[in-house]
Structure 1
Amino acid sequence: MYTSLPLRAVFATSALVLLLMLSGCDLMELSDDPDPNEPSLEDILQDPTPAKLANLAVGIEAGMRTDINLYLTNVSMIGREAYRFSASDPRFTADLLGRGSSVLDNNTFYITRPWAERYRVVRNAEIMLETIDNAGGTLFSDAQRAGFEGYAETIIAYQLLLNANLTFENGIRIDVSANDVGPVVGYDEALQNIASRLDAAFGRLQAAGDAFEFPLSEGFEGFDTPAGFAAFNRAIAARVAVYQGNYARALTLLEDSFVDDDAPLAQGIYHVFSTAPGDIVNPWFFPPQQSGNLLAAHPSYVGDIARDADGEIVDSRFDKVVEREDAFAADGLSSNWGFFVYKTQVDPIPVTRNAELLLIRAEANIWEGNFSDAVDDLNVIRNAAGLADYDGEETQEALIDEMLEQRRYELYGEGHRWIDVRRYDRLDTLPLDRDGDTVWERFPIPASENL
């Protein structure tokens, strides 16, 4: 019924969407009190309609973007990809980089806000599932039900994964389906729950017919049908599988994803932005020459990039940074390079794309001993960056080094490096910029959890 639509059409400023995006910190999100001007939780649960559920789906996608910049700032700062500097808030360069006696605070915006926003989306998706479960047998067809359920469960799993990436062994809550939320569980259990949710959602999407009963933005262009969304589901499931060290499963999952060595590396699913009324612009875009409040590239990105025998840079991914007219220097940190992954205020931010899937497939094949297949995928990534084919040793150790190097440069600024070096027990390889700095392994769970 629906295909991907322009942002102005999808992220329309209906009362429900605004409520989902802009209400306060209550995880339940929708008010239990009747309100003649806004949909209430009771109204949606007890008097569901396809239109209300479609509107809820729009709000869920829109909410996925909220405070995504804080998530990316967290993982990119600790992963030594970028410096976020704010003259009015020293916590970016103190707490996140572990300066001196600084620690990660469990009651500070850099963890409380992204954590709460991911759970807010989870709770809204749970409302969708509860509504479908409460709906009469004739209100929705079996295919419509399956579409809403597959969409909601996939989004829940992805949002839980982002929070698990932050708190790691400190754990997350995986059950927020009622007023009494479930206990905090460890990282391994969280990943298993996420994997199981994605599998259940994939099954529902296969039963959802040819079209969804709700629109998705152009960030899901090509993935806005149940079949396309199922390929997205399998892509995230493959990411989870390599996090779990289950490489054979990752290879199987990729068969049902959209991985394609002949397709553009950029093909994928994105958070999209616009300047349309009621929408938001990319919150992680900073003009690279800006001063005072800025995002600078970590100098090691340029220092370590591939060069020829004459010292000239040969990796085209150098265009993800730009030389600053005035070098950044503050709080004992310095960089001559502006972060330039997102070049305008409406550039999209990837959720996952073909390049990541090729690198996941390379990683899984390395661990499964399929070195030639891994090299083939690594060469797709290398050649796209203007580099020659890999000519190093074809051993597991050497290929893991090469795979992590290509992930570092290909996925720069997309939220992966800190997680990658942590899962390979290489946090000690990240540069320390000042005496006494620390590379953190995990964030604390927020003191109040905003739950």
Structure 2
Amino acid sequence: MKKIVILYIVSFFCGVALLTSCKKEIGNLNNPVIEDYLNNATKPQLDNLVIGTESGMRNNMELYLEVVGVIGREMYRFSGSDPRYVTDLLGQGTEKVLDNNAFYLTNNWNARYRVVKNCNLIIQATNTTNADIPAATKKGYLGFAKTIKAHQLLLNLNLTYTNGIRLQVEDPDNPGAFLGYPESLTAIASLLDEAKTDLTGATIGFALSTGFDGFKDAAGLIKFNRALAARVAVYRQQWAAALTALNESFFDLNGSFNLGVHMVYSTGPNDQLNAAYFPKNRGGEVRVAHPSYVTDILPGDDRIGKATVRTSTASSSDGSLSSNRDVWVYTSSTAPVPVIRNEELILIYAEAKINLTQIPDGIVALNRIRTGHNLPVYAGGITVAALTAEMLYQRRYSLFFEGHRWVDMRRYDRLNQLPIDRAGDDVWDKFPKPLTEN
């Protein structure tokens, strides 16, 4: 951690389209330093940190989606400027290993820890801020920061898996030790629980973007927090805990699939566009669906629309890989990217019910997904094994290019079921620790 340059994503986001207004009493805009925020921080300063935290969540998200999508054989990324998308990430060659200092790891890792740093700064500043800010308002800042921090840590843990992550990084010169995978998940779950406690009875006195519409008060943020807790619970195979968390979240079996919290983008000055969007039929730099996305999909499944037919087949520079389907999940440069949404929660509910052998409830949830995507109701085997395969199918197509397929196949010990397209390729189960962490 010592060698990573920490950037504080703070006041220069004021006035961008992420939020439409920002107050002025926030100290030095051009050269903000930690002391500006830890020495009796004002409410506008804390608000400014919230803006920067939410904005920073978007940094390099397209890269995260690409690398887990490529390793998980959801898609190919053909890049004339960087062949590592089809060499390193696909494990080409018997001697090839993932590089612990390559962009596909370090850019993701650093982006997430920068947001964690901002969250830690909110927590530290809130705990040392002046008495003019009511206790209930302080609780709102703490609950938000801990919830986002947990989410960002989970994304990095998804990459390094059993190589673990650092949880204690408040002091970059003296970071805590790496924790293993189960210990990291436990710590993340505990952080979410702390955040829920903070949000209970809190007052939310800061602004959030439209990506939090419907979740901008304390009750809404608790529902968002519990949705993330349900995701962590199924990763830990704590099925009853997942259902408990769902009951406190925005889970709605009959609700809109897209209800949830999203990262939003705009064409406003100094704001970000969604870099996960590529126009259809693009040449040169392209994202295309893995051919198996089409060969494995059931007839009539409307999620085929997430992989649209190209006017010409795209191929890797060496011609060894090709696809005639564009990835078409984010259909404009301002399309939102979900942090978590109701369709995933319905599938978490199905997964928990199946693993608890509460089969009828699991089938009801799976049928909600099936009929919502133009498929007939489930008519397969009524066993845990058969329903697990069905659940993973539905997750594959419902959550395509949202960052889940590789993680799902790994946690069910099915990485060997992912397609190998060239002799000598490998399916990686994790990334190494970044070089800067060794």
For the aligned pair, the TM-score class normalised by the smaller chain equals over 0.9
Q: Which secondary structure state, in structure 2, belongs to the residue aligned with residue 352 of structure 1?
A: strand
Partner of 2:178: 184
| Contact 1:13–1:278, Cα closer than 8 Å, also in 2 | no
| Contact 1:260–1:358, Cα closer than 8 Å, also in 2 | yes
Q: CA deviation at 1:121?
A: 0.4
1:196 alignment partner, one of 170, 173, 190? 190
| Offset from partner CA, 1:187-219 (integer Å, 9 cap, x none) | 11000000000001001111203xx11111111
Partner of 1:111: 105
2:252 alignment partner, one of 260, 263, 282? 260
Give 1:83-122 correspondences, 5 Å limit: 83-100=76-93, 101-122=95-116
| Contact 2:18–2:264, Cα closer than 8 Å, also in 1 | no
For 2:280, the aligned partner's letter is P
CA distance in 2, matches of 1:73, 1:7: 27
Please, which moves more after superposition, 415-424 or 47-56? 47-56
Alignment TM-score, normalising by the size of structure 1: 0.90
CA distance in 2, matches of 1:109, 1:11: 33
For 2:428, the aligned partner's letter is W
| Contact 1:288–1:295, Cα closer than 8 Å, also in 2 | no
For 1:408, the aligned partner's letter is R
Q: CA deviation at 1:135?
A: 1.8
CA distance in 2, matches of 1:174, 1:293: 36
| Contact 2:350–2:363, Cα closer than 8 Å, also in 1 | yes
Q: CA deviation at 1:55?
A: 0.7
| Offset from partner CA, 1:133-155 (integer Å, 9 cap, x none) | 1123x222111011000000001
Asked if 1:279 corresponds to 2:271, the answer is yes
Partner of 1:149: 142
CA distance in 2, matches of 1:15, 1:387: 54
CA distance in 2, matches of 1:79, 1:163: 16
| Contact 2:16–2:269, Cα closer than 8 Å, also in 1 | no
Give 1:126-275 correspondences, 5 Å limit: 126-136=120-130, 138-179=131-172, 180-209=174-203, 212-275=204-267
Give 1:423-434 correspondences, 5 Å limit: 423-434=411-422
For 2:266, the aligned partner's letter is S
Partner of 2:394: 406
Asked if 1:66 corresponds to 2:59, the answer is yes
Partner of 2:7: none
CA distance in 2, matches of 1:255, 1:68: 29
CA distance in 2, matches of 1:69, 1:286: 11
Q: 1:283 to 1:152 in 2, by over 3 A?
A: same
Alignment RMSD (CA, Å): 1.9
CA distance in 2, matches of 1:327, 1:67: 27
Asked if 1:10 corresponds to 2:2, the answer is no
How many residue pairs end up in the alignment?
A: 421
Q: CA deviation at 1:256?
A: 0.2
Q: 1:284 to 1:254 in 2, by over 3 A?
A: same
Structure 1 gap ranges (5+) = 1-5, 18-33, 308-313
| Contact 2:164–2:181, Cα closer than 8 Å, also in 1 | yes
| Contact 2:23–2:44, Cα closer than 8 Å, also in 1 | no
CA distance in 2, matches of 1:426, 1:435: 19
Q: CA deviation at 1:262?
A: 1.9
CA distance in 1, matches of 2:234, 2:370: 21
1:435 alignment partner, one of 423, 429, 432? 423
For 2:362, the aligned partner's letter is A
1:342 alignment partner, one of 330, 333, 339? 330
Q: CA deviation at 1:113?
A: 0.7
CA distance in 1, matches of 2:226, 2:16: 25
Q: CA deviation at 1:54?
A: 0.4
Q: CA deviation at 1:47?
A: 3.4
CA distance in 2, matches of 1:7, 1:392: 51
| Offset from partner CA, 1:268-321 (integer Å, 9 cap, x none) | 1111111111101001111120011111111100111102xxxxxx00111101
Identical pairs, percent: 47
CA distance in 1, matches of 2:347, 2:127: 39
Partner of 1:28: none
CA distance in 2, matches of 1:143, 1:199: 17
Q: Which secondary structure state, in structure 1, belongs to the residue aligned with residue 436 of structure 2?
A: coil
| Contact 1:98–1:440, Cα closer than 8 Å, also in 2 | yes
For 1:370, the aligned partner's letter is Q
CA distance in 2, matches of 1:144, 1:346: 32
CA distance in 2, matches of 1:63, 1:223: 19
CA distance in 1, matches of 2:189, 2:25: 30
Partner of 2:10: none
CA distance in 2, matches of 1:62, 1:449: 25
Asked if 1:296 corresponds to 2:288, the answer is yes
Q: CA deviation at 1:449?
A: 3.9
| Contact 2:120–2:170, Cα closer than 8 Å, also in 1 | yes
| Offset from partner CA, 1:162-193 (integer Å, 9 cap, x none) | 00000000010001112411111101100000
| Contact 1:86–1:294, Cα closer than 8 Å, also in 2 | yes
Q: 1:166 to 1:14 in 2, by over 3 A?
A: farther
Partner of 2:347: 359
Q: Which secondary structure state, in structure 2, belongs to the residue aligned with residue 325 of structure 1?
A: strand
Q: CA deviation at 1:16?
A: 11
Q: 1:213 to 1:343 in 2, by over 3 A?
A: same
| Contact 1:267–1:353, Cα closer than 8 Å, also in 2 | yes
| Contact 1:234–1:257, Cα closer than 8 Å, also in 2 | yes
Displacement over 3 Å in runs of 4+: 11-17, 34-38
For 1:203, the aligned partner's letter is T
For 2:256, the aligned partner's letter is P
2:117 alignment partner, one of 119, 123, 127? 123
